Amino acid sequence: MAEKTAKEVAGEAKAISIELIKKLKELSGVGLTDAKKALVEAKGDFDKALEAMRKKGLTKAEKRGDRETREGVVDAYIHDGRLGAIVELNCETSFVAKTDEFRSLAHQIAMQVASMNPLYVSEADIPADVKEAKLKELEANFKGPEKMKDQILEGQFKKAFAEKVLLSQPYILDDSKTVEQFIKESIAKTGENITVKQFKRIELGVTE
């Protein structure tokens, strides 16, 4: 297939609206030039372009992951008066904490906790004795090739706790991504680090 001429490429780029480019920029966290390039490569397919740029947006989000989060909100979700969850979601500035988008994010995470009943925010929060017991169990039942033992056990461990760790759970409103990926998309949009500090789930008649 013959390569496209510069004129043809320029024509495709011109056909893509600036509004679409700006929207992709905001959602992915990349610059206007990269957003425009992604839309051209995706032939104007916004969803395809967003998927292609998501990794770049998440890469930028990763770089913000070590920044302190001292502001935020506490939000709650109650379902039918019988089930509820409360979440503390943190960010870097009070400006972002007061935005509708951030408060909506906190509410959606509270919904996630109420629906999926995680036990821990991240793998780092799993108690050492719980980790050790699970690893011993997996090792005792291991039947794979010895040279791949560590890699396989690590995968089995992550799978065992995937539904118990909030950040590892599939996001309830879009199971193509995890809760962690969903939060990182918001990090890319806001330009601030965002972390889940803590949560509590309460169900009528159920005690820990």
Condensed to tens digits (0 to 9), the pLDDT of residues 105-157 reads 999 999 999 999 999 999 889 999 998 998 888 888 888 788 888 888 888 88
Same domain membership, residue 146 and residue 95: no
Average pLDDT value for residue range 31-48: 82
Give the pLDDT of residue 54.
63
Same domain membership, residue 114 and residue 77: yes
Higher-confidence residue of 55 and 127: namely 127
What residue numbers bound the domain in which 45 lies?
A: 6-63
Condensed to tens digits (0 to 9), the pLDDT of residues 147-202 reads 888 888 888 888 888 889 999 999 999 999 999 999 999 988 888 889 999 999 99
CATH of the domain at 44: 1.10.8.10
pTM: 0.66
Same domain membership, residue 85 and residue 29: no
Same domain membership, residue 86 and residue 138: no
Final residue of a structural domain among 38, 63, 88: 63
**For the chain, percent of residues with pLDDT exceeding 70:** 83
Query: What is the Cα–Cα distance from 85 to 133, expressed in whole angstroms?
Result: 29
CA dihedral 93, 94, 95, 99 (to 10 degrees): 120
Same domain membership, residue 155 and residue 102: no
Residue 198 falls inside a structural domain? yes
- CB-based contacts of 24: which residues, under 8 Å, 6+ apart? 30, 35, 38, 39, 46, 49, 50, 53
Same domain membership, residue 56 and residue 12: yes
How many residues are recorded in the chain? 208
The H-assigned helical ranges of the chain are 6-15, 18-28, 32-41, 46-63, 94-97, 100-116, 128-140, 149-161, 179-190
